[in-house]
Chains A and B, each alone.
Chain A
Amino acid sequence: MDILGYLLIGFSEALTPQNLALALIGCFVGTIVGALPGLGPVNGVAVLIPLAFSMDLPPGSALILLTCVYYGCMYGGRISSIMLNIPGDEPAMMTCLDGYPMAKNGKAPEALAISGIASFVGAFIATIGLMLFAPLLVRFAIHFGPAEYFALFVMAFATIGGITGANPAKTLIAATIGLALGAVGIDPQSGVPRFTFGSFHLFDGFHPIVALVGLFAISEVLIMLEMKAHERSQAIKVNRAFARWSDIKPTFPAMLRSSGVGFVAGVLPGAGASLGSFLAYTMEKRYSDKKGTFGKGDPRGVAAPEAGNNSAAGGALVPMLALGVPGSGTTAVLLALLISLNIQPGPLLFQNQPDIVWGLIASLFIANVVLLVLNLPLVGLFTRMLAIPLWALMPLVVMVSFVGIYSISNSSFDLLVMVSFGVVGFVLRKLDISLVPVVLGLLLCREMESALRRALSISGGDPWILVGSGISIGLYVATALFLVTAIVLSMRKRRAAKVSREVEDEYVGD
Chain B
Amino acid sequence: MIAKRLAQAALVVLVATPAVAFEPQNAECIAPANPGGGWDFTCRTVGRILDELDLVDGSVQVTNMTGAVGAVAFANVASKRADDPNLIVATSTVGITQIAQGRYPGDVDTMRWLGMLGADVGTLMVGKDAEYADANALLEAVKADPSSVVVGGSSAIGGWDHLRFLMLAQEAGVPADQLGDIRWVEFSGGGDAVTQMMGGHIDAVLTDIGEIGGFIESGDVKALAVMSDERLPAYPDIATATEQGIPATGYNWRGFYMGGDTSDEAYDGWVEILSDLYESEAWQEAAVSSGLTPIWRGGAEFEEFVRESEARTRDISKAIGVID
Contacts and interface: CB of A to CB of B under 8 A. Distances in A.
B161 interface: no
Q: For the side of the interface on A, what is the size category?
A: 35 or more
Contacts of B26: none
A269 interface: yes
A46 B44 CA distance: 11
A46 B35 CA distance: 8
A203 B201 contact: no
Contact of A410 (B1, B44, B75): B1
B75 to A, nearest CB: 5
B69 interface: yes
Nearest to A189: B186
Interface stretch (A247-255, A324-332, A429-437): A324-332
Contacts of B268: none
B135 to A, nearest CB: 22
A346 interface: yes
A257 B80 CA distance: 54
A457 interface: yes
A203 B191 contact: no
Interface string B189-221: 101100110111110000000011011011010
Interface stretch (A166-174, A333-341, A386-394, A419-427): A333-341
B213 to A, nearest CB: 8
A323 interface: yes
Given A188-B156, A191-B158, A332-B34, A457 B184 contact: yes
A342 interface: yes
Contacts of A458: 150, 183, 185, 201-202
Contacts of A319: 195
B185 A332 contact: no
A204 interface: yes
A269 B36 contact: no
A325 to B, nearest CB: 5
B214 A346 contact: yes
A410 B199 contact: no
A42 B35 CA distance: 8
Contacts of A325: 189, 191-192, 195
A506 B289 CA distance: 66
Contact of A324 (B69, B188, B198, B211): B211
A200 B159 contact: no
Contacts of B35: 42, 45-46, 332-333, 336
Contact of B183 (A344, A408, A457): A457
B231 interface: no
Interface string A140-157: 011111100000000000
Interface in B44-72: 44, 48, 63-69, 71-72
B44 A340 contact: yes
A342 to B, nearest CB: 6
B212 to A, nearest CB: 8
Contacts of A142: 195-196, 198-199
Nearest to A186: B68
B220 A269 contact: no
A189 B40 CA distance: 22
Contacts of A410: 1, 63, 65
B321 interface: no
A480 B187 CA distance: 29
Q: Which residue, of B36, B75, B150, B215, has the highest number of chain A Cβ atoms within 10 A? A: B36
B150 A188 contact: no
A146 B152 CA distance: 12
Contacts of B72: 200-201, 203-204
Given A186-B68, A191-B156, A324-B191, A145 B199 contact: yes
A174 B9 CA distance: 48
A347 interface: yes
Contact of B214 (A203, A324, A411): A324
A237 interface: no
A409 interface: yes
A246 interface: no
A219 B75 CA distance: 33
Contacts of A203: 67-68, 71-72
A200 B71 contact: yes
B36 A332 contact: yes
B141 to A, nearest CB: 15
Contacts of A286: none
A423 B103 CA distance: 33
Contacts of B214: 324, 344, 346-349
B199 to A, nearest CB: 4
Given A53-B48, A326-B36, A336-B36, A347 B215 contact: yes
Given A200-B71, A204-B67, A348 B44 contact: no
Nearest to B35: A336
A347 B289 CA distance: 16
12 contacts: A46-B35, A142-B195, A142-B196, A145-B200, A146-B196, A191-B156, A326-B189, A336-B36, A346-B214, A346-B215, A450-B188, A460-B183
Given A144-B199, A323-B191, 9 more contacts: A141-B195, A142-B199, A191-B158, A200-B75, A340-B44, A348-B214, A408-B64, A454-B187, A458-B201
Interface of A: 42, 45-46, 53, 141-146, 185-191, 193, 200-201, 203-204, 269, 319, 323-326, 332-333, 335-336, 339-340, 342, 344, 346-349, 351, 408-411, 450, 454, 457-458, 460
